[in-house]
């Protein structure tokens, strides 16, 4: 009887200890809080994937590391955020990579080196040449690459028909808006388009007023969302992959243990692969939405696109002055058509 009483007393004391300790553990402040900056709206797939990274890091570190997500340029646009990553005043980001600190960072936007979504899985993988090279270039600036957000393949949208879109040796009769990057100018002109640089926010007005006849540098998702009321034609040429980077400040990275680094890197690698599958689904969905909206959509096989890829890839050497001959030779060795 005495033993039974002692046992009951021991159980009660154990329960009391648990009651007092567990709430304190649950409410304990995290050891580290990381600010994670994004550039796309709250409802965008990339923002959802950023939250997935945050949730996984919190779970795998038992709440020791909390990642706070700030989408929609809440911490500044991508150029400012990248500077803050260098300084260490922002910890993580999922943004486009500005090239003002090193023009070679535009290598990820070179036209006609990824041919389809299946190929994108190996090109953007953590053990691929592109990841290693972008990580090397970023590290020199004080930023570590964690992964890619693949948004989809780019095509040409226009307000009037394009002359022989699959023949790069023919003048297309269309003036297209391009992003302010040499890689897009070189690619578009190699395909037979005349080009004009127009800021992202002014593309709709440019097409509406005739400043440009078409747009280069958009996925079907972006083109449908922004331009469905003004576009008449879409040529799904798949010549470039829209993507941005998951990154962490080296100053933050150096504060982390090896185990915590692995947790964060693995979480970002996982969403890279997920983003490719989601981008494929999103692209097919928005091509159909374009058709439903009355836009004339043209899609092509890899064989039909081959002349474009061969013509554009033959111009990569012209980027040597900007990207260095060494980098371009490495790039050609990896990705030139075989």
Query: On the CB side of 325, how many CA atoms lie within 13 Å of its CA?
Result: 0
Domains delineated in the chain: 24-335 (3.40.190.170)
* Tens digit of each residue's pLDDT (9 = 90 or more) over 133-192: 999 999 999 999 999 999 999 999 999 999 999 999 999 999 999 988 899 999 999 999
Beta pairing, strands 92-95 & 233-249: antiparallel
Rounded Cα gap, residues 82 and 95, in angstroms: 8
Could you tell me if 94 and 46 are in contact, meaning their C-beta atoms sit under 8 angstroms apart? yes
Give pLDDT, residue 2.
53
Q: What residues contact residue 40 under an 8 Å CB cut-off, 6+ apart?
A: 46, 47, 71, 72
Rounded Cα gap, residues 96 and 238, in angstroms: 19
What CA–CA distances, in Å, run from 265 to 53, 114, 131, 253, 321?
Answer: 9, 24, 12, 10, 33
Could you tell me if 165 and 237 are in contact, meaning their C-beta atoms sit under 8 angstroms apart? yes
Give pLDDT, residue 303.
95
pTM: 0.86
Give pLDDT, residue 28.
61
Rounded Cα gap, residues 34 and 264, in angstroms: 11
Low-confidence ranges of the chain (pLDDT < 70): 1-28
Q: For the residues of 45-73, what is the DSSP string, one character each?
A: HHHHHHHHHHHHHHHHTTTSEEEEEE-TT
């Amino acid at each position: 009887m005495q033993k039974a009483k002692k046992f009951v007393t021991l159980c009660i004391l154990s329960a009391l200890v648990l009651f007092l300790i567990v709430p304190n553990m649950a409410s304990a402040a995290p050891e580290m809080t990381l600010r994670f900056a994004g550039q796309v709206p709250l409802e965008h797939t990339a923002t959802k994937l950023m939250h997935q990274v945050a949730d996984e890091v919190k779970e795998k570190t038992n709440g020791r590391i909390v990642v706070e997500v700030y989408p929609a340029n809440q911490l500044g646009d991508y150029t400012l955020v990248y500077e803050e990553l260098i300084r260490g005043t922002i910890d993580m980001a999922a943004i486009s990579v500005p090239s003002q600190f090193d023009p070679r960072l535009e290598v990820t936007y070179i036209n006609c080196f990824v041919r389809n979504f299946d190929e994108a899985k190996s090109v953007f993988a953590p053990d691929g040449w592109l990841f290693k090279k972008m990580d090397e270039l970023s590290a020199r600036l004080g930023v570590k690459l964690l992964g890619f957000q693949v948004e989809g393949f780019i095509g040409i949208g226009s307000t009037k028909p394009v002359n022989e879109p699959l023949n790069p040796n023919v003048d297309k009769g269309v003036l297209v808006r391009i992003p302010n990057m040499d890689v897009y100018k070189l690619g578009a002109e190699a395909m037979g388009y005349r080009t004009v640089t127009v800021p992202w926010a002014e593309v709709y007005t440019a097409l509406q007023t005739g400043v440009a006849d078409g747009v280069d540098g958009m996925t079907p998702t972006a083109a449908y969302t922004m331009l469905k009321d003004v576009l008449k034609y879409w040529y799904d040429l798949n010549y470039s992959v829209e993507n941005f980077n998951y990154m962490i400040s080296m100053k933050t990275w150096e504060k982390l243990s090896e185990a915590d680094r692995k947790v964060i890197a693995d979480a970002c690698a996982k969403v890279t692969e997920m983003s490719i599958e989601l981008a494929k689904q999103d692209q097919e969905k928005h091509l159909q939405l374009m058709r439903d909206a009355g836009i004339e959509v043209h899609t092509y096989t890899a064989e039909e696109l081959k002349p474009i890829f061969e013509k554009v890839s033959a111009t990569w050497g012209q980027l040597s002055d900007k990207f260095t001959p060494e980098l371009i030779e490495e790039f050609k060795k990896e990705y030139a058509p075989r």
